[in-house]
Amino acid sequence: MSSRLGLLWRYVRENPKVGWVLQVIAAISCVVFWLIVLPGGAIAVLGVVAVVMAIRNQAGHREGLLWLMIVFALLFVELHVLVKDRQQHEKQQSDAFDFQRRHFSDIANGITSAIQQNQSDFDATMSRSNTIIEGLSNSINLQTGGDSYLYFDPKVLSDVPSGIALPGFPKGTLVLSAYHHFVGKFPLRNVYVSVAGPMTTLYTIDYGDMFPKEIGRPRPEIQLPFRPDRPKQHVNIFITTANGSYSEVIVLKNSDNHWVWASRFSKYGTKKLSRTWSDPGFPSQELNGSWNDY
């Protein structure tokens, strides 16, 4: 057995035909590995070629040159395999990263869409709630009057005392008229106006329910006599409605034989005056002072 192996060994080492056959096989392996790109296969063939070259140390220069070319070819194939394998690996990693990025982007877009939808639903709910609250508020305001109010605009009819007596107006008196003004968009319920003047005891006018921009519904106005011999006089008007109570003070003043007036209007429970206005001839320095001396 050992002698046969020895003869085979010697035949492989010394027979030129064996070298050419092995070179053809190695060349075909290079082409095959190049085409199918089998990782590690070229290294295995390269190891076999190295062993054959070591065994066939008696080969000629031409055969040795061909073996060297085959070695470099196998080395090139293996490098090509390694580079291509690395590129495939990097592409797989890139594809995986792109997939994860798209996946997380879809999740983020879904979260954003959900947040936007929730915000839209919340806004719609709040809008409906605001509409309901506004409707309830309007309903309450329709019953109470909301922020509407009533005040009176005074006017002295003449600087000359009357020459005749009329019901409620003695001869020789002056006449103050006060005309109501409605402010606001909600009706006022249960309006009562109480009036006290220089020559008049307290009396009340029942206006009932009053509405904005009333047309064709006559309302009683305030008509009061006052004295021509007193240079300063005042009138008190008390207004009560379902939304609160108000007070108006009208001051009358004789300025150079001409009667002028000024008025202050305020709501009970508030320290700030709602409005102060006057006849153009009323002394401006007296408008912001105390009216207690009137």
pLDDT at residue 9 tops 60: no
Specify whether the CB–CB gap between 59 and 18 falls below 8 A: no
39-66 burial, b for 16+ CB within 10 Å, e for fewer? Answer: eebbbebbeebeebbeebeebeeebeeb
**Average pLDDT of every residue of the chain:** 76
Confidence band for 1, pLDDT divided at 50, 70 and 90: low
State how far the Cα of 228 lies from the Cα of 232, in Å rounded to an integer: 9
- Which has the higher per-residue pLDDT, 263 or 140? 263
Specify whether the CB–CB gap between 207 and 219 falls below 8 A: yes
pLDDT at residue 245 tops 90: yes
pLDDT in tens, 215-231: 778 889 999 999 999 99
Percentage of residues of the chain with pLDDT beyond 90: 31
pLDDT at residue 98 tops 90: no
Model pLDDT, residue 14: 56
State how far the Cα of 203 lies from the Cα of 102, in Å rounded to an integer: 84
Confidence band for 32, pLDDT divided at 50, 70 and 90: low
DSSP the chain: -HHHHHHHHHHHHH-HHHHHHHHHHHHHHHHHHHHH--TTHHHHHHHHHHHHHHH-TT--HHHHHHHHHHHHHHHHHHHHHHHHHHHHHHHHHHHHHHHHHHHHHHHHHHHHHHHHHHHHHHHHHHHHHHHHHHHHHHHHHHHH-TT-EEEEEEEE--SSPPSS-BTTB-TT-EEEEEEEEEESSS-EEEEEEEEEETTEEEEEEEEEEE-TT--S-----EEEEE-TT-SEEEEEEEEEETTEEEEEEEEEEESSS-EEEEEEEEETT-SS-SEEEE-TTS-GGGTSS--TT-
Across 26-40, 188-202, 276-290, least confident range: 26-40
Q: Give the global pTM.
A: 0.55
Model pLDDT, residue 76: 64
Residue 151 tokens read as 């005040």
Confidence band for 37, pLDDT divided at 50, 70 and 90: low
Model pLDDT, residue 134: 61
State how far the Cα of 84 lies from the Cα of 91, in Å rounded to an integer: 10
